[in-house]
Amino acid sequence: MSVDRSLSPLFSPASLAHVGASERGTYPAEIFQNLLEWKGRLYPVHPSRSEIFSVPAYPSVSALPEVPELALVTVARQRVIPVVEECIACGVKAVVIISAGFAEADDYGRSLQRRLKELSSRIRIIGPNCAGLADVKNSFFMTRLFAKPRRGGVSFVSSSGALMMALFGSFAGRGIGLRYLASLGNQVDVCMEEVMDYYLDDPETTVLTAFIEGVGSGDSFVRLLQKAGRKRIPLVAVKSGRSELGSRIAATHTASLASSGRVFEAVFRQYGAILVDSPAQMLDVALLADTIGPPAGGRIGVISQSGGAASLTADLFSRYDCFSLPPIPESLELRLRRIEGIPDYARLLNPLDARGDAMRGEKIASLITAMGEGGSWDLLMLLFAKNPNREVEVQTVRGILAVRKQMKLPIVVVWIGEGDGGPDASQAFSMLKDSGIPLFHDPQPAVTALAALLRWSQMHKDRENCA
């Protein structure tokens, strides 16, 4: 029997059987409750329950009123093989196996995984030992949710299930909109490269992000990087197992084959993908790519409310040869001098030390307009160092938003100081995130992420010019 190798039944099924659904247990109950938001046909399968959370339940897959496209499996590992065999017999196209205890565990688990590998020639399998997946646009959350994600264009795939679930909240907290998410676990069948390729074919995916412990095929992975480059979709990845100890830990975690860290670094450089060192850096680059895209060039105009922040940020930009901080033209300096609050006792430089008054409340709109119109910048960075939880800072953000609607120049905000309630408590911060303006709380990660994205863009432009 030929098997449809498409991943559509996994990410966009019309019907789903949850084998092992329950009103108790972390994965059996929480995932099923999350699936209740989905508009597809959902069938809980339980040997002794007549309903699960008021949804009629069935004793087996073969007892369902229709053959589901996809089955989700959350049963003990010794029951997984019979469930998958029943799904094959009924004509189910794909299964996602949350259950753990396979090749990452012991000899018995390895024998079970070998049998799953044999069965994968007759059905598509994600897992085992994974945390599920999500189609955020269509509210298809076949995983646990620590925080509800925003909808957007960033797709994420992870070898680690716990990391994927933890990053739900991090993506949302940074104002990053998500399209797809997937945790692959032991990759007995569907592998990292396949899922990333599926994302690249999705017209609504604008940024591809990944946490990689290992890949199935080096050749396939290279072709994937080439495809991402042709489509000009930034691919931003964290790779674990780049040291000898990290590689051994990756193998015990998901039974993955972790390739050499040096090989990965060389391949990413050669094909113009972005390899970062941490999930936080991945989020930084993804935030910029999703909200403003790669800057047209490296000419940066910086407006700062703090002289110390201005000096620090100038040092950070000077570390990268892709950036320049052009001096403020004389005509612009004359215009800036007429703005209330700009100090009149020193030469105005870039970064512009505008002090407090000119960057407080809606007066900031005049300052941003003047800088945007009077200089040859590719991007404006606004630096603040103060408590954001005051009402006047809501007015400050309103001034930023008003100008941003009228100018094409991208804006990045760095706001040092979170106040008593933390970054999520500030109305000003929420307004920035909701409007799609990238927000950082330290200039160093902002500059580092900008450099990574600019270099990515310049590399692909150079290759196009040489073609």
Question: How would DSSP label each residue in 419-456?
Answer: -TT-GGG-HHHHHHHHHT--EESSHHHHHHHHHHHHHH
pLDDT score of 250? 45
Higher-scoring residue by pLDDT: 110, 242:
110
Radius of gyration of the chain (CA): 25
Q: Report the mean per-residue pLDDT for the chain.
A: 91
Q: What is the pLDDT of residues 84-97, one digit of tens each?
A: 999 999 999 999 99
- For residue 71, what are the β-bridge partners? 17, 95
What proportion of the chain, given as a percentage, has pLDDT over 90? Answer: 75
What is the chain's percent helix, strand, coil content, to nearest 5?
45, 20, 35
Residue 398 inside a domain? The answer is yes
The domain boundary, picked from 246, 274, 291, lies at 291
CB atoms within 10 A of CB 363: 16
Q: Could you give the number of structural domains in the chain?
A: 3
Are 348 and 435 members of one domain? Answer: yes
Q: Is 166 helix (H, G, I), strand (E, B) or coil?
A: helix
Are 161 and 178 members of one domain? Answer: yes
Are 102 and 175 members of one domain? Answer: no
In the chain, how long is the greatest CA-to-CA distance?
A: 83
140-143 and 132-135 strand pairing = antiparallel
CA distances from 274 to 70, 121, 174, 266 (A): 33, 34, 19, 11
Residue 437's identity, in one-letter code, is I
Q: Are 117 and 84 in contact (CB under 8 A)?
A: no
Residue 245 inside a domain? The answer is yes
Does 460 score more than 50 pLDDT?
yes
Are 240 and 378 members of one domain? Answer: no
Work out the pLDDT band at 244, boundaries 50, 70, 90.
Answer: low
Residue 115 inside a domain? The answer is yes
Are 65 and 144 members of one domain? Answer: no
Residue 466 inside a domain? The answer is no
Are 333 and 455 members of one domain? Answer: yes
124-126 and 274-276 strand pairing = unpaired
Mean pLDDT lowest among 88-92, 165-169, 290-294: 165-169
SS (H, E, C) 306-353: CHHHHHHHHHHHHCCCCCECCCCCHHHHHHHHCCCCCCCCCCCCCCEE
pLDDT score of 253? 43
Are 315 and 388 members of one domain? Answer: yes
Query: What average pLDDT does the segment 99-104 reach?
Result: 94
Q: How many Cα atoms sit within 13 Å of 238 on the Cβ side?
A: 21
Query: What average pLDDT does the segment 285-296 reach?
Result: 95
Query: What average pLDDT does the segment 5-24 reach?
Result: 96
Work out the pLDDT band at 256, boundaries 50, 70, 90.
Answer: very low
Query: What average pLDDT does the segment 39-67 reach?
Result: 97
Query: What average pLDDT does the segment 367-388 reach?
Result: 94
Does 81 score more than 70 pLDDT?
yes
pLDDT score of 257? 42
Query: What average pLDDT does the segment 373-379 reach?
Result: 93
The domain boundary, picked from 261, 291, 321, lies at 291
Q: Are 254 and 213 in contact (CB under 8 A)?
A: yes
Does 252 score more than 50 pLDDT?
no
Residue 383 inside a domain? The answer is yes
Are 272 and 313 members of one domain? Answer: no
List Cβ neighbours of 422 (8 Å cut-off, separation of 6 or more).
none
Residue 401 Rama label (left phi>0; alpha psi -120 to 50; beta):
alpha
Query: What average pLDDT does the segment 63-83 reach?
Result: 98
* Pairwise CA distance, residues 325 & 305, whole Å: 17
Query: What average pLDDT does the segment 40-69 reach?
Result: 97
What proportion of the chain, given as a percentage, has pLDDT over 70? Answer: 93
Query: What average pLDDT does the segment 58-74 reach?
Result: 98
Residue 465 inside a domain? The answer is no
CA distances from 408 to 296, 297, 368, 411 (A): 11, 14, 12, 9
Are 136 and 232 members of one domain? Answer: yes
The DSSP symbol for 130 reads -
CA-closest candidate to residue 273, choices 193, 351, 190: 193
Q: What is the pLDDT of residues 315-371, one digit of tens each?
A: 999 999 999 999 999 999 999 999 988 877 668 999 999 977 889 888 899 999 999
The domain boundary, picked from 291, 306, 326, lies at 291
CATH number at residue 201: 3.40.50.261
List Cβ neighbours of 343 (8 Å cut-off, separation of 6 or more).
353, 355
Residue 467 inside a domain? The answer is no
Residue 32 inside a domain? The answer is yes
CATH number at residue 62: 3.40.50.720
Burial of residue 252 (CB within 10 Å: 0-12, 13-18, 19+) is exposed
pLDDT score of 115? 98
Are 111 and 141 members of one domain? Answer: no
pLDDT score of 255? 44
Work out the pLDDT band at 258, boundaries 50, 70, 90.
Answer: very low
* Pairwise CA distance, residues 152 & 205, whole Å: 8
Work out the pLDDT band at 249, boundaries 50, 70, 90.
Answer: very low
Are 266 and 350 members of one domain? Answer: no
pLDDT score of 247? 47
pLDDT score of 347? 81
pLDDT score of 241? 66
Are 346 and 414 members of one domain? Answer: yes
pLDDT score of 405? 85
Query: What average pLDDT does the segment 240-248 reach?
Result: 55
Residue 223's domain comprises 130-291
Residue 279 Rama label (left phi>0; alpha psi -120 to 50; beta):
alpha
